[in-house]
Structures are given as structure tokens and as C-alpha cells.
Chain A
Amino acid sequence: SAVISQKPSRDICQRGTSLTIQCQVDSQVTMMFWYRQQPGQSLTLIATANQGSEATYESGFVIDKFPISRPNLTFSTLTVSNMSPEDSSIYLCSAHRASGGEQYFGPGTRLTVT
């Protein structure tokens, strides 16, 4: 298995500011993903964090709003830029090893934008 940690666990931010969320995996993984879970909803994929290249974004999500970095095989960051109350969600990082196929999730970052 893989153990994933996220920082911060929660934050309350002002409208118009930005927040960077960190995701650390305890071992090297092939794929890392960022999901959003809006209140009362299931998980929606934001992007795939590619090591050494630009992230791959899903429809409805853009790099200017959600810039992602992945400098190595164990670490990634997601920035939520120019925040609005609609960005209030839980943001989850996940990781995947090619062998086995199981995906592991971090504890999530609960973001509230006021």
C-alpha cells in the first residue's frame, strides 16, 4: 500500500486569494491525481499530475485556476487560485502504482472560502 499525507488538512481563506495544497506519498508512484469533492457530492477528477511535464486537466478545469506541480515521483502540489466561495470543497490527492491497480487517497484538504 501507499501512505499519502496532505497539507493543510483544512483552511479558511478569503475570496480572491490563493492556496497551495501539498501531497506527499511515502513511496514512488507512477500516477498522481487531484480530485474535488463539493459538499454532498461525489469525487470529480481535476487533473492528472504528470512527473516532469504539464498536468492533464479534465473538462471544466484550467491550469490558470488550478496550477499543479509534480517535481518528483513522491510529491505534488495543487494551487487553487483567485478563490471564490464556489471553490469551497474537499480536495483529495490520490496515487496509483501501475502494478496491482489499487488507488490510494490522502486524507483530503477541507477548504472554505469566505
Chain B
Amino acid sequence: KQEVTQIPAALSVPEGENLVLNCSFTDSAIYNLQWFRQDPGKGLTSLLLIQSSQREQTSGRLNASLDKSSGRSTLYIAASQPGDSATYLCAVSPNQAGTALIFGKGTTLSVSS
């Protein structure tokens, strides 16, 4: 059974710092991996999607990497801002397109000004 773990559970950093969020999964047979952002009491915003054949994806200050063989992904946030404060969720899609996602419990990030 696929399990997704995110470390750390919470992180507090000062504005401007670069940071890394970690995600690991137990079964390397994944179709893709998505990183989401969730603001308190809100829905999910998709940040980055990495297909299983890809190593990384970038969007603005965000860079996500995928090492499928070791079951790991990282989300790198450069020059953090208070507006980045949110919960970041990692989710994997099993080895078949169109199936539901399996989520980690998330990392709650707080960026202070």
C-alpha cells in the first residue's frame, strides 16, 4: 500500500530564506507527483506536476525534484516571502493515469517578516 510522508510537519523561517520541503513515498511505481498549496480553510492550489519520467519542474521561485527510484521528492522555495505561508501537500498518482491521488499530511510553513 502506497504511503506518502512529508518532513518536517511544520517549519518557521524568516523572510528571504531559501527552504526545502521533503516528501517520500513507499512504492516507486508512480505515474506522477504533484505539489499543492493549501491556505487555512481553503481548497488546494496545484503548484507543480512532475511526471514519472521527469527529474524536476520549475515555476517562478519554486523548484520540485523527483527521484523516483529512491521514492523522494523535494520542493525548493527560493527567497521565501510571508505570502508563502501555507500548508504544502505532496501527492502521488499510482501507476495508472486517471486514478485518485494519495496525499501526505503536509508541511505547514510560516514565513515571518
A42-B89, A43-B103 known; A102+B98 contact, CB < 8 A: no
| Measured CA separation A30–B98 after assembly (Å) | 8
A interface: dominant SS: strand
Indicate if the CB atoms of A101 and B51 lie closer than 8 Å.
yes
Indicate if the CB atoms of B101 and A103 lie closer than 8 Å.
yes
A42-B89, A92-B43, A92-B44 known; A105+B36 contact, CB < 8 A: yes
Count of residues in B whose CB is under 8 Å from the partner chain? 24
Count of residues in A whose CB is under 8 Å from the partner chain? 26
- Chain A stretch 1-18: residues in CB contact (< 8 A) with chain B: 1, 6
B interface: dominant SS: strand
Point out the residues of chain B lying under 8 angstroms from A107, CB to CB: 42-43
B105 on the A face (CB < 8 A): yes
Indicate if the CB atoms of B101 and A42 lie closer than 8 Å.
no
| Measured CA separation A42–B34 after assembly (Å) | 14
Point out the residues of chain A lying under 8 angstroms from B24, CB to CB: none
The distance from the CB of A34 to the nearest CB of chain B, in whole angstroms, is 9
| Measured CA separation A77–B89 after assembly (Å) | 25
With contacts A6-B43, A102-B49 known, what are 13 further pairs, Cβ within 8 A?
A: A42-B104, A48-B100, A92-B43, A92-B44, A94-B44, A94-B100, A96-B98, A98-B98, A101-B51, A103-B34, A103-B46, A105-B36, A105-B45
